[in-house]
A and B are shown apart, each in its own frame.
Chain A
């Protein structure tokens, strides 16, 4: 089983460009999450989707949008990238109400 798959693994953007980070899980999980990891800040929740058809803001949602395309896929979009969005982005999934997240291997994004 692939678990949680994130694409791309690496990306360099210029300030103002847009892009979508893709995430797909094959474990039939209801809930999906997007986190960013920054030095000294740990993992911070950007957006989450408790179930198909619902999305909610996390701790740091500004500058991002999400789409829960179906039960498997949850994408994160940067409409106008800023250097402050340089980070490693992780997608995760879990059963609803369960706390054991399965994480993808991450997308390292650099905005110049």
Chain B
């Protein structure tokens, strides 16, 4: 039972354009959402997060949008750069989870072409 789903395994975007990565979740108890970025042969690194009390959070070129009614969040990267090419994981956590356990999606591999 996949509680966090990223239905697009891969995405290819031209440099300078917008990249939109999507994530859906099923557990209505999730109250905090994060995006992680992973390069080959490295561990995931934290990128951006959003609390369920907000619908948007922005950090430089990265913006995360949350639609609670649709149980959907998205990561926008504008403008996309070749260095953004990586696997992006969506993650979620529920208030009742002691220790801050994160549930991850399957990941989306983004390729930004020059």
Contact = CB atoms under 8 A, between A and B. Distances in A.
A40 B106 contact: yes
B51 to A, nearest CB: 10
A74 interface: no
Given A42-B89, A96-B100, A98-B100, A104 B43 contact: yes
Contact of B100 (A4, A94, A102, A103): A94
A100 B89 CA distance: 13
- Chain B interface size, as a band, is 20 to 34
B46 A100 contact: yes
Interface residues of A, number: 31
Given A40-B9, A42-B6, A42-B89, A103 B44 contact: yes
Contacts of B44: 43, 90, 101, 103
A106 B42 CA distance: 7
B101 interface: yes
Interface of B: 4, 6, 9, 32, 34, 36, 41-46, 49, 89, 91, 93, 98-107
Interface of A: 4, 31, 33, 35, 40-45, 48-51, 56, 58-59, 90, 92, 94, 96-106
